[in-house]
Amino acid sequence: MHQVAPVMVTGASGFVGRAVVRALRMVGRGSGRPVVALGTRPADAPRDEYWEPVDLLDPAAVQDVLARHRPAALIHAAWARSRAGGLWNAPDNMDWRDASMALFEAFWQAGGKHVVGCGSCAEYAISDDPCREDATPIAPESLYGQAKAQLHGMAAARAGALGGTLAWARIFYLFGPHEAAARLVPSVIDSLLRGEPALTGSGLTRRDFALIGDVGHGIAALAETGAIGAYNVASGEAVRLRDLVERIGAIMERLDLVRIGALPDRPDEAPLIAADVGKIARDTGWHARTPLDEALRQTIEWRREHAVSRSDDRKRPAKL
């Protein structure tokens, strides 16, 4: 079906998968390697790009799509859908752990070589320092983090036996175009666009935020270079949440509507969740290139153009 073995991306119409497909599209212009995107085809997809919806919980459907496309590389960005109450401790995280492992094994057994799995900073133990792949303990507290960590362990153990390789992308905090409206950055932007107060907690915790487009390129780099092992995919810079919100207010010239401390803080929040990104920079040359203020401006402009409101997206995405 393909003259050159393609890269297959699961969850391609989701927040992370969409950015990965876009990054691969740019790489593919030079390499000629096609992309097979598993998801709902967006209106702006090129006409010659392969898109199809596949139920990854159906083993027969997985076998069929692998047999038809014979991908050389697989980027797995799909996971369970979020719902009211969140995904953090939802039982179907374990269903997706098992289905994902079955997908990897089927891919390797069909002759595929390199898998890039999308993991999470939630796999790490709470740390006073930026998380480092070879130093920070893996001690997830949520069922989501446990499922991701267990999938990584299982896949790393099986890859060599099946003649494959594995890169594991531990993604930290994201924002940008197409993010669900209930998340922090879009909820603040949308409130200010409507001329309404943006209410937050104290915002004293620090988090590592990166623009989704940059992270898409980071994940694509793990596929294109054939990198093996676990990698943090993040900006490498932590920002206090209150400073992030105030920067949005300043850029939009609506600081008068920002209400820091109007909401209670979540209990047991880690003071710091940030990444050491030296390993991915050394092994692939990738780093997040968009400065925070520019990334916020791009996101604000996208949401302004698309007139996004909270009612547009009632379903929250999986936590990262």
pLDDT per residue over 27-80, tens digit each?
A: 876 567 899 999 999 999 999 899 999 999 999 999 999 999 999 999 999 999
CATH number for the domain harbouring residue 195: 3.90.25.10
CATH number for the domain harbouring residue 136: 3.40.50.720
The answer to whether residues 198 and 302 belong to one domain is: yes
Does 122 map to a domain?
Answer: yes
pLDDT at 318 over 70: no
pLDDT at 295 over 60: yes
The answer to whether residues 109 and 189 belong to one domain is: no
C-alpha to C-alpha distance for 161 and 105, rounded to whole angstroms:
10
The answer to whether residues 20 and 162 belong to one domain is: yes
What is the residue range of 43's domain? 7-173+209-233
Instruction: Give SS3 for 165.
Output: strand
Q: What percent of the chain has pLDDT over 90?
A: 89
The answer to whether residues 269 and 218 belong to one domain is: no
The answer to whether residues 203 and 141 belong to one domain is: no
Place of tokens 């600081």: 255
The answer to whether residues 19 and 168 belong to one domain is: yes
What is the structure's pLDDT at 307?
76
What pLDDT digit, counting tens, does each position of 223-275 carry? 999 999 999 999 999 999 999 999 999 999 999 999 999 999 999 899 999 99
Over range 177-194, report the average pLDDT.
96
Total count of domains within the chain: 2
Does 281 map to a domain?
Answer: no
C-alpha to C-alpha distance for 169 and 206, rounded to whole angstroms:
21
Does 264 map to a domain?
Answer: yes
Place of tokens 């915790």: 205
| Alpha carbon distances (Å) from 61 to 10, 39, 74, 99, 128 | 13, 13, 16, 12, 44
Q: What percent of the chain has pLDDT over 70?
A: 94
Which tokens sit at 158?
């099986």
Over range 17-22, report the average pLDDT.
97
Does 1 map to a domain?
Answer: no
Q: Is residue 179 within 8 Å of 15, Cβ to Cβ?
A: yes
The answer to whether residues 307 and 162 belong to one domain is: no
Give every CB contact of residue 57 below 8 A, 6+ residues apart in sequence: 95, 96, 99
Model confidence, pTM: 0.94
Q: Around Cβ 307, how many Cβ atoms within 10 Å?
A: 9
pLDDT class of 319 with cuts at 50, 70, 90: very low
